Amino acid sequence: MSNPFYIILGLAPGIIWLLFFLRKDVHPESNRMIVLIFLLGMVIAFPAAILECIPIGFDQEGGLKCFSHSFFSENFPYPLSLFLYIFLGIALIEETIKYLVVRFKALRDPEFDEPIDAMLYMIIAALGFATIENILVLFSPGEPLSFSEASIITTIRFIGATFLHALCSGLIGYFLARSFLKPKQKIKFLLMGFPSAILLHGLFNISIIKIGESLIFVNDRLIISDLKLFIFSLSALITILVSLALFVLLGFRRLKKLASICLPELKR
């Protein structure tokens, strides 16, 4: 399959979810701001990747050694090292860096004038971020993917990782909006939003890892080697996504009922 098809498939999940979430806004944002935040979300994915995997050399098998993974694995026993790496070395970095796009660009723009905008811009930045992840996965080293293989991966990431990024950022965006409505409780709301998103993001990643560990290839066929682990991990993954989706959708509904706030209040 040619490179343009990889790019189109990589873009598709983010664009589809973007169109879905934009329908939640009664007063649509300008195309300029939507495209800008989406693109900034894409750009910020690269420094996030660098932070997650600062190269420090190669292991005995010739694979790249990353600072954060090596730090946790060499200083903490397994499986604690894995948990710390996933929650602090990945989830914390990704959720923080997506927020920074909104913090330093969207919040200072005159178009940011109502509570729901916090959720929307967080989701838009997250979808841009996830889009780069999707494209990089399709361009992973190794044998080029066939159209069917690339399509399956894209579909899985559409209902999985891409959706997860949007929902976790939407959760942070909801508490961010609440913090603007009640400035005296700003720290409280942010401390509710960030840890919750990081926790759920990390649990999602662990579920994916455990699903992978429960599967093996036998004669080029993928089979389930540990049915209990597979069912438990898949159930956890579905629970995380469904719970987040319900929270975000209800969050949109609740913020829609709130009156618009003057811009100076939003930018405190």
Q: Which tens digit of pLDDT belongs to each residue from 126-160?
A: 999 999 999 999 988 777 888 888 999 999 999 99
Contacts of residue 112, Cβ cutoff 8 Å, sequence gap at least 6 = 106, 118, 121, 263, 266, 267
Distances (CA, A) of 5 to 12, 144, 147, 148, 154: 10, 12, 8, 12, 11
Distance of CA 53 to the CA centre of its chain: 17
pLDDT band, residue 59 (cuts 50/70/90)? low
Radius of gyration, CA atoms only, the chain: 19
Cβ neighbours of 261 (radius 10 Å): 17
What residues are paired with 224 via a beta bridge? 215
Q: Determine the average pLDDT of the residues in 81-110.
A: 93
Q: Determine the average pLDDT of the residues in 96-118.
A: 90
pLDDT value of position 262:
45
pLDDT value of position 192:
94
> How far apart are alpha carbons 106 and 108 in whole angstroms?
5
> How far apart are alpha carbons 210 and 215 in whole angstroms?
9
Query: Looking at the predicted structure, is the pLDDT value of residue 187 above 60?
Result: yes
pLDDT, tens digit, 9 for 90 and up, residues 157-183: 999 999 999 999 999 999 999 998 888
pLDDT value of position 62:
56
pLDDT band, residue 263 (cuts 50/70/90)? very low
For the chain, what percentages of helix, strand and coil (3-state, to nearest 5) are there?
75, 5, 20
pLDDT value of position 183:
83
Q: Determine the average pLDDT of the residues in 242-264.
A: 81
> How far apart are alpha carbons 74 and 76 in whole angstroms?
6
Query: Looking at the predicted structure, is the pLDDT value of residue 54 above 80?
Result: no
> How far apart are alpha carbons 39 and 162 in whole angstroms?
15
pLDDT value of position 12:
96
* Tokens encoding 107: 């919040």
pLDDT value of position 264:
46
